[in-house]
Amino acid sequence: MCLCGLAATTMLLTSCGGNPSGDRKPSGRGGQGANATQAKAPNFALSAVPAGAKDVADIKTSAKRGDEVVMRGIVGGRPKPFLDEVAVVTVVDVNFVGPCDPDGHCSIPWDYCCSDKTAITAAMATVQVVDTDGKPLPGTLRGVGGLEPLATVTVRGTVADVERGKRLVINAAAAHVQPYKPTKVPDAPSR
């Protein structure tokens, strides 16, 4: 099995409800372990959104391996969307219902735990930054170019693997990151 398939399988097994301990607390900040080092991905961050972006679901239904794509998604889909050891992150289609109360009381809103797992899988993609041999770079993508859970990311890259309704892996060349901004309106002062 290729590393990208292994990473996707590992991420699926650790998603909401797949953790044998039942512990829903993320390690570190949003899934990055305290000892994780950031991936060195030069020229990864784009200052402007690349033109022609399509949503995850659109690319998943029409793309084939080797296609050059521009894909838009939201960082999330599981409690730990970032792998610590390699430059891999999961994103969810921007039109997918969720995340789970990001401005309220949910401690891990980016895991979409309140949604059906089959639907999450259909709306999710794996993004990786690879070296010249096609292997994910060492280190986490968390923080690279501002990547954090719930950030909207527009990725320019190549389809490395696709299986309709199940798997989509993008080898990212560059990305534009729009940080998540809470929408919760503060409570009105009492009189």
In the prediction, which pLDDT does 42 show? 87
In the prediction, which pLDDT does 186 show? 53
Note the pLDDT tens digit of each residue in 84-115. 999 999 999 999 876 676 666 677 889 888 88
Q: Which CATH number fits domain 3-18+38-178: 2.40.50.200, 3.40.50.970, 3.10.100.10, 3.40.50.720?
A: 2.40.50.200
In the prediction, which pLDDT does 109 show? 84
pLDDT band, residue 59 (cuts 50/70/90): very high
Mean pLDDT of the region 28-45 = 72
Q: Which residue has the tokens 């599981």?
A: 78
Assess contact for 72 and 53: CB atoms under 8 A: yes
Phi, psi of 176 (to 5 degrees): -110, 135
Mean pLDDT of the region 168-190 = 80
Assess contact for 80 and 11: CB atoms under 8 A: yes
In the prediction, which pLDDT does 13 show? 36
Task: Name the H helices within the chain.
Answer: 3-13, 56-62, 117-122
Q: Please report the DSSP string for 81-127 in residue order.
A: -B-SSBSEEEEE-TTSS--S-TTTT-S-GGG-TTS-HHHHHHTEEEE
Indicate if the pLDDT at residue 123 is higher than 90: yes
In the prediction, which pLDDT does 33 show? 59
Give the containing element (helix H, strand E) for 161: strand 152-163
Q: Which of 14-28, 61-75, 111-125 has the highest mean pLDDT?
A: 61-75
Note the pLDDT tens digit of each residue in 17-36. 333 333 333 333 444 555 67
Mean pLDDT of the region 117-141 = 94
In the prediction, which pLDDT does 29 show? 43
What is the residue extent of each domain of the chain?
3-18+38-178
In the prediction, which pLDDT does 166 show? 87
**Of the candidates 114, 96, 183, 108, the residue with the CA atom closest to the CA atom of residue 149:** 108
pTM: predicted TM-score of the whole model, two decimal places: 0.78
Average predicted confidence (pLDDT) for the chain: 81
Round to the nearest angstrom and report the end-to-end CA distance of the chain. Answer: 63
